[in-house]
């Protein structure tokens, strides 16, 4: 009798534990109070929407390049002060890191990049850039606004936050590896996960896209100076022609992808400029070429770098030329591949599906573009997704980095609410997982 009673109790215990784990594992953001839909409705309130639009337009009128975002930082601090959000500043030169919630673990981060681009805006509208040659042509003004919008939502519902949401306003995404400086400053210590987004003009408004695993490539840049001996074009035998050498270099570099890379391991080598000579009848002393190389794995990326260097020096030597190569790693560090965490992908799909509907959560194909959010993902689980802006009533929207790029401001509430929902529901699930782990470890019912 004692044996069967003990066996029965063991079975009941394991069934109880399995049910508890199952119930938490299937935890939906619908358990949140408020729900993702309520967050979105809050963000769409006229006064909240108008406030976000005002911030976005002020940022757009005053673009600042990488590590020069002092006015942008001042605006962020001003709005956080009004909301009553504590923060640290400066972080990574111009960055701001805010905190909402209990001030205690667990910690989850949401990130916005702050910098503009050296592009002259061609969009004619009331809030056009006031700074000649500078423009928010990549939507970072919208990204900052959305995280501030999330801060407003979170502050309104701070009592429901089961942990701390870290607001990361990051400088220098456009080539300056600002994310790495944020990490070096210790701003993400004890943070368990981080979320980020990017607006895109080719996804319909109210829809999102992303995926699990590699979604963007690792990226680097290079320049080569190929030196020969200049002379009169009528007497090539008296010269060493660097233009011919550079031409052979370019053709050979294309073979690195077509003949050395696994066809299932996507890679890119692009020569984007070729500069040399200035007259029809003069062979120049040297030629400059430069471009970018990209891959979805670090191993392939570093192999590509090594072979680029070997091919340039080797092909130059064949034509009796010398070559020097610069990869600009100090000024423009290599960006790692952007790799989304699998568990965070499931979390994103559930939260975004609850808010927008499952049919509006799209699987994106990986692209060869790069993003410095990848630096965060090297140290903690991270998730990066796309937010749609396309609306037929606005006509075609130009793509990123175009002087005609426009932001559909109707996307602002979606980004703000998604940031807030992803963070709060993550913290809730984190707390529940801890409770399950503690419950599973007990030896009594």
Separation of alpha carbons 179 and 169, rounded Å: 10
Asked if residues 225 and 323 have their Cβ atoms less than 8 Å apart, the reply is: yes
Give every CB contact of residue 366 below 8 A, 6+ residues apart in sequence.
Answer: 211, 214, 215, 216, 217, 266, 296
Q: State whether residue 362 is helix, strand or coil.
A: strand
Report how far residue 121's alpha carbon sits from residue 406's, in angstroms, rounded to the nearest whole number. Answer: 10
State phi, psi for 311 to the nearest 5 degrees: -65, -45
Q: Looking up tokens 């975004």, which residue turns up?
A: 352
Question: What tokens were used for 196?
Answer: 């980020």
The answer to whether 198 is a known ligand-binding residue is: yes
Contact (CB, 8 A) for 412 and 145? yes
Beta bridge partners of 100: 165
> Under a CB-based contact definition with an 8 Å cutoff, are residues 277 and 243 in contact?
yes
Tokens of 369: 């573009």
State how far the Cα of 25 lies from the Cα of 294, in Å rounded to an integer. 37
Do residues 92 and 182 touch, judged by C-beta distance below 8 A? yes
Is the peptide bond between 304 and the residue preceding it cis, with omega within 30 degrees of 0? no
Q: Is 255 annotated as a binding residue?
A: no
Torsion of CA 44, 102, 425, 29, to 10 degrees: -80
| The token pair that represents 319 in the structure block | 């034509």
Roughly how many angstroms between the first and final C-alpha of the chain, as a whole number? 20
- The annotation status of 321 as a binding-site residue, yes or no, is no
Distance CA 194, CA 166 (A): 9
Q: Can you read off the two tokens belonging to residue 32?
A: 């949140």
- DSSP-based three-state secondary structure for 245: helix
Buried-exposed string 20-33: b where 16+ CB fall within 10 A, e elsewhere: ebeebeebebeebe
Cα 233 to Cα 170: distance, rounded to the nearest angstrom: 52
DSSP calls for 5-71: HHHHHHHHHHHHHHHHHHHHHT--GGGSSS-HHHHHHHHTSHHHHHHHHHHHHHHHHS---TT--HH
**Cα 187 from chain centroid?**
17
Binding-site residues:
138, 140, 174, 198, 401
Tell me the binding residues for Mn(2+): 138, 140, 174, 198, 401
């Amino acid at each position: 009798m004692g044996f069967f009673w003990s066996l029965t109790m063991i079975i009941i215990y394991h069934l109880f534990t399995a049910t508890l784990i199952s119930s938490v594992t299937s935890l939906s953001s619908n358990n949140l109070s408020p729900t993702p839909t309520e967050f979105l409705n809050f963000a769409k309130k006229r006064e909240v929407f108008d406030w976000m639009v005002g911030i976005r337009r002020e940022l757009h009128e005053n673009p600042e390049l990488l590590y020069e975002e002092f006015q942008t930082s001042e605006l962020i601090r001003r709005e956080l002060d009004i909301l009553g959000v504590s923060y640290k500043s400066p972080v990574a030169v111009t960055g701001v890191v805010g905190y909402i919630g209990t001030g205690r673990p667990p910690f989850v981060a949401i990130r916005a990049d702050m910098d503009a681009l050296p592009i002259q805006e061609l969009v004619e509208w009331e809030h056009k850039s006031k700074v000649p040659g500078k423009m928010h042509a990549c939507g970072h003004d919208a990204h900052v606004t959305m995280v501030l919008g999330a801060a407003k939502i979170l502050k309104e519902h701070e009592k429901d936050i089961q942990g701390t949401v870290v607001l990361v306003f990051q400088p220098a995404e456009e080539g300056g590896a600002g994310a790495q400086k944020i990490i070096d400053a210790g701003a993400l210590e004890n943070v368990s996960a981080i979320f980020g987004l990017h607006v895109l003009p080719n996804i319909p408004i109210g829809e999102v896209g992303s995926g699990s695993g590699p979604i963007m490539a690792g990226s680097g840049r290079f320049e080569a100076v190929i030196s020969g001996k200049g002379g009169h074009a009528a007497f090539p035998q008296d010269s060493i022609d660097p233009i011919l050498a550079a031409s052979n270099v370019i053709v050979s570099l294309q073979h690195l992808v077509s003949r050395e890379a696994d066809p299932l391991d996507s890679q890119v080598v692009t020569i984007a400029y070729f500069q040399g000579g200035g007259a029809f009848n003069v062979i120049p002393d040297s030629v400059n070429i430069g471009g970018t190389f990209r891959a979805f794995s670090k191993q392939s990326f570093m192999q590509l770098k090594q072979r680029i260097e070997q091919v340039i020096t080797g092909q130059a030597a064949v034509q009796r030329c010398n070559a020097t190569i610069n990869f600009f790693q100090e000024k423009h560090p290599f960006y790692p591949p952007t790799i989304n965490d699998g568990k965070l992908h499931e979390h994103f799909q559930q939260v975004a599906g609850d808010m927008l509907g499952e049919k509006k959560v799209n699987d994106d194909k990986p692209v060869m573009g790069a993003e410095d959010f990848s630096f965060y993902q090297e140290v903690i689980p991270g998730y990066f997704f796309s937010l749609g802006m396309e609306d037929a009533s606005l006509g075609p929207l130009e793509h990123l980095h175009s002087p005609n790029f426009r932001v559909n401001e109707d996307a602002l509430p979606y980004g703000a609410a998604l940031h807030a929902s992803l963070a709060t529901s993550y913290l809730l699930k984190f707390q529940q997982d801890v409770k399950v782990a503690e419950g599973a470890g007990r030896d009594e019912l």
